[in-house]
Amino acid sequence: MNDKDNKLIALFMGLKEDGVDGYLVDMNKDYGYQIVHESCFLYDSEWGWIIPVVQKIEEECGGVPKQLLDVSFYDEIGDVYQAVVEFIKEYNSERSKWNEQTRIEEGLDHKG
């Protein structure tokens, strides 16, 4: 199990950092919130955990991204998990570049 990659997926799914190392806050509970340690996520070992992630990725991209086209649900869960992690890392990188470019264009980047 890879807690770092599971945490990456959990953040993509909307959980927030708690401020205490290794813990995330799930605000999507019916009553209040839940604090969860990153070791409790089962994205790498349970289909019921990874399928909603794939569905969210498809919604965010308006279809199946390249990373997921190379795997199918007939493959091992580890293959799908790695494709999801690869996608989220690239997605976060692109979003970060876009945010930085937007700050520069809007004159909000005050370097120097």
In this prediction, residue 60 carries a pLDDT of 82
C-beta neighbour count of 60 within 10 angstroms? 13
**How does residue 97 score in pLDDT terms, banded at 50, 70 and 90?**
low
Q: How far apart are CA 92 and CA 7, in angstroms?
A: 13
Cα→Cα distances 30→70, 86, 92, Å: 36, 31, 28
Place of tokens 């649900």: 73
- Roughly what angle, to the nearest 10 degrees, separates helices 3-12 and 47-61? 50
Pick from 11-15, 42-46, 51-55, 94-98: least confident: 94-98
Interval 32-86: pLDDT, tens? 677 888 888 999 999 999 999 999 998 887 877 777 777 776 678 888 999 899 9
Give this prediction's pTM: 0.75
Round to whole Å and give the CA distance between 29 and 43.
Answer: 19
Query: Which of the pair, 94 or 10, is modelled with greater confidence?
Result: 10
